[in-house]
């Protein structure tokens, strides 16, 4: 899979544009469902990624793209839950995320929030 930032808030993945947060699980792209994390919005000033969301488990790695400026908060419980499932979790701001994503996603075994 190949991803690139088109402009702030818009990604292109495999030629299709997305103007919302997405989750990629074993090569399938879907819209991120933020509902379970909205209760933490006031605490973080931004809707964080919490373990209440459906965390993909389609691979051995969970990579979270935290946005162009690294503004997406990722609650520690997400990485703890990933580890409990035997999944290596990590987070990167968009530049590093895209580079990493474009290399490892070719294997289509990893899961991503972006």
Question: In this structure, is residue 12 part of a structural domain?
Answer: no
The predicted-structure confidence for 70-91, as pLDDT tens digits, reads as follows 778 889 999 898 888 888 887 7
Distances, alpha carbon 113 to alpha carbons 19, 23, 68, in Å: 14, 4, 14
Inside any domain, residue 99: yes
* CA pair distance 73, 44, nearest whole angstrom: 7
Entry pTM: 0.76
Number of domains in the chain: 1
How many other CB atoms sit within 10 Å of the CB of residue 68? 15
Q: In the chain, pLDDT over 70 holds for what percent of residues? A: 77
pLDDT tens-digit map of 49-60: 999 998 887 677
- Residue 55 located in a structural domain: yes
**Looking at the domain assignment, is residue 11 inside a domain?**
no
In a domain, 10, yes or no: no
Q: Does residue 32 form part of some domain?
A: yes
Give the per-residue pLDDT at 102. Answer: 54
Interval 18-36: pLDDT, tens:
888 888 887 788 899 999 9
Say if 17 falls within a structural domain: no
Q: Is residue 44 part of a domain?
A: yes
Domain that holds residue 93: 23-113
Here the CATH number for the domain that contains residue 42 is: 3.40.1230.10
Compute the mean pLDDT over every residue in the chain, rounded to the nearest whole number: 78
Residue-level pLDDT at 105 = 52
């Amino acid at each position: 899979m190949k991803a690139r930032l088109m402009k702030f808030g818009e990604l292109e993945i495999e030629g299709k544009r997305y103007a919302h947060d997405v989750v990629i699980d074993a090569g399938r792209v879907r819209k991120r469902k933020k509902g379970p994390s909205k209760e933490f919005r006031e605490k973080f000033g931004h809707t964080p990624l919490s373990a209440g969301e459906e965390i993909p488990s389609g691979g051995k790695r969970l990579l979270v793209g935290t946005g162009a400026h690294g503004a997406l908060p990722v609650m520690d419980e997400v990485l703890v839950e990933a580890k409990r499932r035997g999944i290596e979790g990590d987070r990167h701001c968009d530049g590093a995320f895209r580079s990493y994503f474009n290399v490892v996603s070719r294997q289509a075994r990893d899961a991503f929030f972006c």
